[in-house]
Amino acid sequence: MIPRTLGVKLKQVAKRYPVVSVTGPRQSGKTTLVRSVLEGYDYVSLELPDERQLAARDPRGFLAQFRRPVIVDEAQRVPDLFS
């Protein structure tokens, strides 16, 4: 992986804020960056239909299944998750 200077900042803000959004163009390495910097976090992709359906139907229940901080990939697919 290409070392990213953003990794240091991401680690800092993830400690300070309960929700951090990483945005950018498609295929630019966002998921790779976040997963490599935030080791120990759970990971879920809303690209998967079952996960997306659960998140849309029961956002609280969806988030309650995670015992550790979680990386939610493709979060734009269920915008109400962050209302």
Query: How high is the pLDDT of residue 71?
Result: 98
Type of residue numbered 24:
G
**Is residue 78 in some structural domain?**
yes
Query: How high is the pLDDT of residue 5?
Result: 84
Q: Is the pLDDT of residue 2 over 80?
A: no
**Which tens digit of pLDDT belongs to each residue from 6-60?**
999 999 999 999 999 999 999 999 999 999 999 999 999 999 999 999 999 999 9
- With 0-12 / 13-18 / 19 or more C-beta atoms within 10 angstroms meaning exposed / middle / buried, residue 40 is exposed
The total number of structural domains that make up the chain: 1
Are 2 and 30 in contact, with CB atoms under 8 Å apart? no
Q: How confident is the model at residue 82 (pLDDT cuts 50, 70, 90)?
A: confident
Are 61 and 54 in contact, with CB atoms under 8 Å apart? yes
**Is residue 25 in some structural domain?**
no
Query: How high is the pLDDT of residue 1?
Result: 65
Type of residue numbered 21:
S
**Which tens digit of pLDDT belongs to each residue from 56-76?**
999 999 999 999 999 999 999
Query: How high is the pLDDT of residue 25?
Result: 94
* pTM as predicted: 0.88
**Is residue 43 in some structural domain?**
yes
Domain that holds residue 44: 33-83
